[in-house]
Amino acid sequence: MTREIDNSRIQRKSSKRTHPEVDKQLKELFASDYGTYSIKAITRKLHEWLAEHPPFTVNDSPSESTIRDRKKEYENNLARGVDDEDKKDRSDLWVHTPDQNPDDVRAILDVLAEVIERTKGRTKSFTKAEAKWIAHLHAIGVGLKAWAIYLLAREYLLHPNTDQKLALDMMLAAGSKYPVHPDDGKLIA
């Protein structure tokens, strides 16, 4: 005995595109201090902006899950030095060259090996900016493990605001007293 499914009763999520102006405002929120806020707070701020800018309405807002995905994409692009999906450039990837400091190269390769292992190969390279921060953080000798150096380097790249960088500096000044949670490797703020 087979059951027939009434497809007319299945509701499918409509895939609507976000208006470019709404997308632009969302990116501005990510780039501002609101970028450090929760997705709900960003959504509320976007709804306020939509209400103040006719002909837009709250219905023009992407869902919270879409905002979460776009924020993650924005942060990843920022860390890689890319501000727009269309401007991705593989020439910014770090590659080992003989003229580089061998200690820096060894530190970067050690961190890269850890990152490849922890991300199960999803991350296989660094940008030049990431590599520079990794080498710098290793060189200042705060005794951080490879994964912690990677996370901290990304934090420095993700936070262009001086106050946020000062907070990271204060954490380092405290003397590497577990800036990364020992169980999950997440930075402790």
Which residues have CB under 8 Å from 1's CB, separation 6+? Answer: none
pTM for this predicted structure: 0.51
Which pair of tokens denotes residue 7?
């497809």
Which pair of tokens denotes residue 130?
């990431």
Tell whether the model's pLDDT for residue 186 goes beyond 60: no
Q: Report the distance separating Cα 62 and Cα 110, nearest Å.
A: 40
In this prediction, residue 34 has a pLDDT band, given cuts at 50, 70 and 90, of: low
In this prediction, residue 33 has a pLDDT band, given cuts at 50, 70 and 90, of: low
Which residues have CB under 8 Å from 139's CB, separation 6+? Answer: 103, 104, 107
Helix (H), strand (E) at residue 83 = none
The overall average pLDDT reported for the chain is 77
